[in-house]
Amino acid sequence: MFKKSIALKLTAGFVGIVLISMLVIGGLFIQMFRQYTFSSREQTMLDRARSIAEVIAENSQSSGQFGGFAGSMRFLDRMTEAKVWITDKQGNLSLMSGMGFGKGRGAGAGQGTGPGTGRGMGMRQGQPFNSEPLPQEAEKVIEGVLSGQESVSENFSSVYDEATLTVGVPIIDSDHQVIGSVLLHSPVTGITATVNKAVRILAVSLLGALVLALGLGVFYSLLFTRPLKAMNLTALEMTQGNYSVKTGVNREDELGQLGNSLDLLAGKLGYTINQLFQEKGKLKDIIGSISDGIVAFDMTLKPISVNSALSEIMNRPHPYLNEDIEKDLNDLKIEAQLTKVTEEKKTSQVLKDWLGKKLMFTLSPIVDNSGMVTGSVALVQDISKSERLEQLRRDFVANVSHEFRTPLTVIRGSLEAMVDGTVENSQEIKRYHQRMLSETRGLERLVGDLLELSRLQAGKIKMNKEKLYMPDLLEDVVRNFATIAGRKGIKVEYLTKQDIPAFEGDYDRLRQLLVIFLDNAVKYSPVNTTVTVATSLFDIKTLSIIIRDQGYGIAAEELPYIWDRFYKTDKSRNSGGTGLGLAIAKHLIELQDASVSVQSELERGTVVEIKLPLGNPKV
């Protein structure tokens, strides 16, 4: 972790830059110092060599011998601060600095008579005091000088343990002929020591600079990394959902700007996330309020989200687990359609049967902004009711057509018989007229019931409220039906156990309701049976009216459909009724804000209970 730290990288980079810079500058400085020292020394030695060459050229013997300068050679090394060699034009060493007095034979000036020894100054011919050979670099310089060119050679001498400089200047006579050479050979005194001292100074300076650079590097690294760490912690807090966090970086530089931008980003992101959550909540509420089921799938066709309405549509308990959803959808076999929808990016509809229901699946792909399909969604609609309503509409049209066609066929047949003269007997004609009248009255009742049902469904029926007494109403209805029932040997009785208070209601609508139920009870009861009407009062606010017969009864599976228009059981198909009575009764009960329940067993009879509130009826 530390190796990846930006503080370490900044410090190492800072120290590296200082180290490299110091080494380069120190190296250049030492090189420049050394070059300057050599150049300065070289120029000095060349000037002195030229001066010696000029003097020798002016005072040399015509034979090219330089013996006259032997006395001066001992001082030249001090004057020139270098060893001086003078060679002839063949390169042989003629004179060299440092030569002194000697004893020997030879020509000389002296005092005395006769042969004998004498004192005098002279030079040993061919035997100098210092006869050491020329250094190798001097020999190379001589070769260049004797060609008429000045020559310079730099080298390192193990004798002096120092860098040495050798310069050579040709001795040119008046005829511009090279008659010899002057060589100066000298160590560049102190350059090595100076360079070594400079290196030591450079090393000490470099060490100090490194320490300083290290300190500054750590300081500036921390100066840079502290706000970065603060911003990193801020970013981590943001990943945890804390968008109110601040970096706390108060600087005017780029890092401060970055910190301010991060603070602004946190604020904006927090606001945006809050808006997204609000929109998500709204969307969730909207989806939850939709009565249709919604299922979202991923690209593997696995359900990932559903709304609460789906469990009710699929007849499953809530919550509807994903495992159960996946199993039920597999049973419905819609995988192929979902795959096709995601491949073609087109919406498709599929109709499926499920537990006695008709379900319509509307399958749509989920497409992102780049046009890529990221999943699919299914809208599940229970169209059982709409299918049933459509079937009822078709049945209604068929039933109305049938109910109209039968009497119209009878009327038409009777008219054709009379028109064609098939019927001529007055008694037969009268019978045909009565049949036509009966069928016409049946049509009139059918049309009346249809109009009545239409007005009830449209809410166009107005209640005529008045104070009425229920026992009187029931006695009136029972008395009217007693005559009709008596013809079939059916007895109609009214039983009451307690006083019923008067209340506000619509006399005609209540009478119509009771007539419908009593008419059905009498019509579908066999001879020599009894139909009873009983009342009872519940908590002074609800009146219960029970109509009980001993008729043919209704099968349990047919009970939910007896309120439908034109619905007839097997026993009632030949009764001559329109099949609209109970449909009208249902709407009359709703109009009275009442409720009704029916219990029936085949061959045992039927019990109808009406619970009527004694408050204000529905208007």
HEC per residue, 391-452 = HHHHHHHHHHHHHHHHHHHHHHHHHHHHHCCCCCCHHHHHHHHHHHHHHHHHHHHHHHHHHH
Report the topology of domain 1-96+134-240.
Beta-Lactamase (3.30.450)
- Please tell me the predicted confidence (pLDDT) of residue 65: 59
Name the token pair of 6.
Answer: 């930006």
Confidence category of residue 245, pLDDT binned at 50, 70, 90:
confident
CA distance 53 to 47: 10
- Using one digit for the tens of pLDDT, what is the confidence trace for 566-614? 676 655 545 556 677 788 888 888 888 889 999 998 888 999 999 988 8
Domain span(s) for CATH 3.30.450.20 in the chain:
1-96+134-240, 283-382
Q: Strands 491-496, 530-538: parallel, antiparallel or unpaired by DSSP?
A: parallel
- Using one digit for the tens of pLDDT, what is the confidence trace for 11-69? 788 788 888 888 888 888 888 877 887 788 888 888 988 888 888 888 775 445 565 66
pLDDT at 124 over 60: no
- Cα–Cα distances in Å, from 96 out to 69, 74, 77? 10, 8, 9
Contact, 524 vs 599, CB < 8 A? Answer: no
Confidence category of residue 615, pLDDT binned at 50, 70, 90:
low
Confidence category of residue 363, pLDDT binned at 50, 70, 90:
very high
- Please tell me the predicted confidence (pLDDT) of residue 330: 87
- Using one digit for the tens of pLDDT, what is the confidence trace for 288-322? 788 888 889 998 888 888 888 888 888 888 888 88
CA distance 568 to 558: 9
Selected from 3.60.20.10, 2.170.140.10, 3.90.76.10, 3.30.565.10, the CATH number assigned to the domain covering 462-613 reads: 3.30.565.10
- Please tell me the predicted confidence (pLDDT) of residue 279: 87
Contacts of 76 (CB under 8 A, 6+ apart): 52, 84, 97
* Portion of the chain with pLDDT greater than 70, in percent: 84
- Cα–Cα distances in Å, from 168 out to 52, 176, 616? 11, 17, 144
Confidence category of residue 100, pLDDT binned at 50, 70, 90:
very low
- Using one digit for the tens of pLDDT, what is the confidence trace for 496-511? 767 788 888 888 888 8
Q: What is the mean pLDDT of residues 253-265?
A: 85
Look up the pTM and report it. 0.41
Q: ω before 319 within 30° of 0 (cis)? A: yes
Helices (H), 60-177: 70-80, 136-145
CA distance 559 to 598: 8
Q: Which of helix, strand or coil describes residue 174?
A: coil
- Please tell me the predicted confidence (pLDDT) of residue 106: 40
Mean pLDDT of the residues in the chain: 79
Q: Which of helix, strand or coil describes residue 494?
A: strand
Q: What is the Cα 80 distance to its own chain's centre?
A: 88
Among candidates 21, 24, 23, 1, which has minimal Cα distance to 13? 21
State whether CATH 3.10.560.10 applies to domain 388-457: no
Give the residue with greater pLDDT, 487 vs 156: 487
Q: Which of helix, strand or coil describes residue 535?
A: strand
CA distance 51 to 43: 12
Selected from 3.40.1390.30, 3.30.450.20, 3.40.50.2300, 3.30.930.10, the CATH number assigned to the domain covering 283-382 reads: 3.30.450.20
Confidence category of residue 110, pLDDT binned at 50, 70, 90:
very low
- Using one digit for the tens of pLDDT, what is the confidence trace for 335-348? 888 899 988 889 99
Domain span(s) for CATH 3.30.565.10 in the chain:
462-613
Contact, 88 vs 94, CB < 8 A? Answer: yes
- Please tell me the predicted confidence (pLDDT) of residue 56: 83
CA distance 291 to 236: 42
Sign of CA dihedral 190, 192, 198, 204: negative
Give the best-scoring range by mean pLDDT among 80-89, 420-429, 460-469, 603-612: 603-612
**Residue at 223: amino acid letter:** L
Among candidates 74, 20, 441, which has minimal Cα distance to 209? 20
**Residue at 313: amino acid letter:** I
Contacts of 259 (CB under 8 A, 6+ apart): 227, 230, 231, 247, 248, 249, 250, 251
